[in-house]
């Protein structure tokens, strides 16, 4: 049985990222990726899996960096109270 580790805050501010319509992305939930805010498989063994999503349109998204958002993968301002 794998124990789930706690996510690590990659940074205490959001990541503005350009996404392309129809492209699949994997947002890092664990905070260990060297390719923030996206997954680089550093979560292996942590029990934390990335959140996959498909961009609905070409746009700039504001993705969570602290990993504590209540609206994953989007920033909801939680980093302001950490």
Instruction: Determine the pLDDT at residue 3.
Output: 65
Spatial contact of 6 and 28, defined as CB atoms under 8 Å apart: no
Instruction: Determine the pLDDT at residue 43.
Output: 96
Reply yes or no: is the peptide bond before residue 37 cis, omega within 30 of 0: yes
- Taking 70 as the pLDDT cut, the residues of the chain under it are 1-3
Residue 9 backbone dihedrals phi, psi, to 5 degrees: -70, 115
Instruction: Determine the pLDDT at residue 4.
Output: 80
Model-level pTM? 0.92
Instruction: Determine the pLDDT at residue 2.
Output: 54
């Amino acid at each position: 049985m794998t124990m789930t580790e706690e996510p690590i805050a990659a940074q205490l501010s959001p990541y503005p990222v350009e996404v392309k319509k129809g492209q699949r992305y994997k947002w890092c939930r664990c905070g260990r990726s060297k390719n923030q805010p996206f997954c680089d498989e550093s979560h292996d063994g942590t029990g934390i899996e990335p959140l996959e999503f498909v961009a609905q349109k070409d746009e700039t998204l504001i993705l969570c960096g602290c990993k504590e958002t209540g609206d994953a993968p989007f920033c909801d301002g939680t980093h302001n109270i950490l």
